Structure 1
Amino acid sequence: MSTPATAASAGAVIIATARTAAGLTVGGSAGGFAPRIAFDASPSITRSYFLGHHHAALSRMRQRLSNCGLIIEVRDFRIPLTSWNPMLERNLAASPEQRARIIVYTKRDLGPSGGETRRKEQYPRQSSAEVIRTLRNFHEEGRHAKAVLFLGQDEFDKNDGKLIDAIKSVAREIDSLTGLSAMVVGMPNAGKSTLLNRMRARGMGLPKAARTGANPGVTRKLGTPVRIAPGESHGASGCEGLGEGVFVLDTPGVFVPYVSVAEDMLKLALVGCVKDGLVPAVTIADYLLYHLNQVDHRLYTDRFCARPTNDVHVFLRGVAQRTGKLLKGGELSLEGAAEWAIQQWRHGNLGRFLLDEVTPETLGQSVEAANSPTLSMNQARKKDKAERKLKTQMKRMGIAAPAAGGVV
């Protein structure tokens, strides 16, 4: 199991290569600032956060499946593709034919507004409405779930009610005297416990029942079932056909055993899906800077830097000076500035945008990748070792090595 990178190793992990294209400038001004058109993530980035309690939780979830009529899968709207865990889907067999499923994309309010666009010189940035439409069409065409919902803090009443209605609809289809038992699952820190508390408040008018926090790992064990809708015996309006009511089981977030694409690990780290410190904060801040430049450099130049930059150290020095992030002796703390910038973005105070590109093509690629065998960390290391050995042999023979992931 990989361990968090130390401060000493942080600088050795990654600083993205500034790959720019001539003439690709913000605002179209010739000779102006040219942001990186791609982020070169170091292959040495930690690729796993699959902890012991993740494996144990997955085993206990499977044991509870026989009594579960509904899976509520939670994904992060900022990374709708990367926060999908196919391993959960395979292990819990949550297809509509086998067990009802509802997909909930949380933190929709931290996505782009309707008018936010990427630089048109590269490719248009999708609005939240466009992303929602693409995802909804994808799920409807594939019959992936009974319902697909998008929730944000600013839409508590409207969409929480839709979620409760969708769950009640499943309960009425099952038509069990004992009611419906559901399980909420997803990646770490995707918002499962928060969602459960919102459902309980909406359906029962009761305070929260699940502990929540800003960091992953707050929920480490399966909880006890929480009632989110009363049963017929309560005599409340809208409870007809619900038996004894609807009960939801909170579960720990479960990470994938291995993240094959290094940039995906950076996305997961930036949104807070892995423990802070696993990937160095300066590395994550550099990835954030890359996206800020892609969206609108004024998100940070108006506050921290006189001009846009691709150099994360220049960016972080500006942040540190403005926010007073200092070490003993008055030296600027780039680590402290990086942590501050990351938290600001997570709360929507440094731009609101998606890290995944959501198109029918990228969705298809995600499905293709999900259908591939899941590698463990040890298997991935063996594969990397074999590829390096092959490249060395080919180099000695004077044969050009294939690109990463290429087929010989």
Structure 2
Amino acid sequence: MAVFIPRPNFPQLDSLVRSYFLGHHQAALTEMSQMLSTVELIIECRDHRVPLSSRNPLFEKALAGRERLMVYTKKDLAQGTLNKIQKNAITKWHSPNKVMFSDVNNFLDVKKILSYARKTAKQVDNLTGSRMLIVGMPNVGKSSLLNALRRVGVQRKKAAITGGQPGVTRKIATSVKVSEDPLIYLIDSPGVFVPYVPNSETMLKLALVGCVKDTIIPPVTVADYLLYRMNLHDPTIYKKYHEPTNNILDFLAKVGKETGRLMKGGEPDLEATALWIVGRWRNGLLGRFMLDPVDKDAYQRWLEEEESAGKSNTRLKKEAKAERLEAQRARNVAMA
């Protein structure tokens, strides 16, 4: 039997939409900047699986001047993939800011974050209570973290609405109490996407972890990227559905038939199957692994690549607008 060889790289897709910067993203960013003087701590969330790709450089400028706690969320979806050296590397990326790795269902993880917030609040000693702001890219787990802090801090039910797709929180929320002593109010905010993603693979990573809506990039394309990453990690993780393969159409066709995702006439529904497969991975049911490299030089390489691929803000906005209009025209044609 022939030895399976996974694809060594994924093709650069120049036609792929690389913008998801919406109107309410800019509005939220502006409002965050205006309220900086009233908050004592910013809790910035990034997805543990994409520690570099879920970085938003807009926050560096808009939120400068306030202490930040960096929280890498959803660590349970990539559990055990970071060794001590790699965790230390990520910690150094953000020095002097504090870094924590979190699973919102892990009481100790949530308690550590809450303890840090309480320590900060005690240092400020605000008689009316401390206000803290939680920020991050879309769907990185901000609202889930807020609810977990509230559950642990004041034993109350969730206050923020959560969902599997980005855009659930669309404006700055009212303050939510997460601690009685000291008194702390946490403010949820909409996820803010970058104006333009410099390369197609980063956009695919963000789509795969759910930072953009599933309608923005063709689901079959996202599933193909997932198949590529699963093969690099361990092709046996999908053995119950298919033998190791690099052919996404064959893979989806077989999975669609076996799981009953069929169209009229009995043909497999490839798009529905792709969404289902991607959803399984997002829930940790098809391997738990990271998509970004982590080593002591990874962050610097990322910044250099980001800078070399950078374009003027005017050009970025024009290209982003053109891509949104083109995507809208395509959807209109498809619905006609």
TM superposition score normalised by structure 2 = 0.89
| Residue 20 (structure 1) aligns with | none
On the 8 A contact 1:258/1:376 being kept in 2, the answer is no
Deviations, residues 320-348 of structure 1 (Å, cap 9, x unaligned): 12111100111111111111100000001
Deviations, residues 148-196 of structure 1 (Å, cap 9, x unaligned): 1111155x21111111111111112222222311100000000001100
| Residue 246 (structure 2) aligns with | 310
| Residue 280 (structure 1) aligns with | 218
| Residue 348 (structure 1) aligns with | 284
1:133 to 1:283, Cα distance in 2 relative to 1, 3 A: same
On the 8 A contact 2:89/2:296 being kept in 1, the answer is no
| Residue 33 (structure 2) aligns with | 62
* Map 1:197-208 → 2, pairs under 5 A: 197-208=147-158
| Residue 326 (structure 1) aligns with | 262
1:69 to 1:264, Cα distance in 2 relative to 1, 3 A: same
CA distance in 1, matches of 2:178, 2:300: 35
Deviations, residues 267-306 of structure 1 (Å, cap 9, x unaligned): 0000110011100000000000001111111111x2122x
1:99 to 1:329, Cα distance in 2 relative to 1, 3 A: same
| Residue 99 (structure 1) aligns with | 66
| Residue 179 (structure 1) aligns with | 129
SS of match in other structure, 1:56: helix
| Residue 80 (structure 1) aligns with | 51
* Greater relative contact order (Cα < 8 A, sep 6+): 2
CA distance in 2, matches of 1:328, 1:62: 52
The answer as to 2:5 corresponding to 1:38 is: no
CA distance in 1, matches of 2:162, 2:28: 17
CA distance in 1, matches of 2:17, 2:145: 29
* Map 1:347-386 → 2, pairs under 5 A: 347-369=283-305, 375-376=312-313, 378-379=315-316
On the 8 A contact 1:48/1:257 being kept in 2, the answer is yes
1:374 to 1:61, Cα distance in 2 relative to 1, 3 A: farther
TM superposition shift of 1:310: 0.8
Aligned-partner residue type, residue 42 of structure 2 = I
Tell me which stretches of 4 or more aligned residues in structure 1 moved more than 4 Å.
Answer: 369-377
CA distance in 2, matches of 1:377, 1:342: 34
1:142 to 1:151, Cα distance in 2 relative to 1, 3 A: closer
CA distance in 1, matches of 2:42, 2:301: 24
CA distance in 2, matches of 1:374, 1:193: 32
CA distance in 2, matches of 1:218, 1:44: 28
| Residue 144 (structure 2) aligns with | 194
User: Which of 186, 189, 195 is 1:257 aligned to?
Assistant: 195
| Residue 100 (structure 2) aligns with | 149
On the 8 A contact 2:89/2:295 being kept in 1, the answer is no
| Residue 22 (structure 1) aligns with | none
The answer as to 2:233 corresponding to 1:295 is: yes
SS of match in other structure, 2:44: strand
On the 8 A contact 2:139/2:167 being kept in 1, the answer is yes
| Residue 119 (structure 2) aligns with | 169
TM superposition shift of 1:319: 0.9
SS of match in other structure, 1:215: coil
The gaps in structure 1 that reach 5 residues or longer are: 1-28, 114-126, 231-238, 383-408
Deviations, residues 366-408 of structure 1 (Å, cap 9, x unaligned): 23355675655843877xxxxxxxxxxxxxxxxxxxxxxxxxx
SS of match in other structure, 1:360: coil
Aligned-partner residue type, residue 101 of structure 1 = R
TM superposition shift of 1:133: 4.3
TM superposition score normalised by structure 1 = 0.74
On the 8 A contact 1:136/1:148 being kept in 2, the answer is no
CA distance in 2, matches of 1:250, 1:90: 19
Deviations, residues 2-33 of structure 1 (Å, cap 9, x unaligned): xxxxxxxxxxxxxxxxxxxxxxxxxxx9x511
On the 8 A contact 1:257/1:377 being kept in 2, the answer is no
Size of the aligned set, in residue pairs, is 319
Aligned-partner residue type, residue 203 of structure 1 = G
1:102 to 1:48, Cα distance in 2 relative to 1, 3 A: same
Q: What fraction of aligned residue pairs are identical, expressed as a percent?
A: 44
On the 8 A contact 2:136/2:192 being kept in 1, the answer is yes
On the 8 A contact 2:36/2:66 being kept in 1, the answer is no
On the 8 A contact 2:89/2:294 being kept in 1, the answer is no
SS of match in other structure, 1:269: helix
The gaps in structure 2 that reach 5 residues or longer are: 320-336
Aligned-partner residue type, residue 279 of structure 1 = I
On the 8 A contact 2:196/2:316 being kept in 1, the answer is no
Which of the two has higher C-alpha Rg? 1
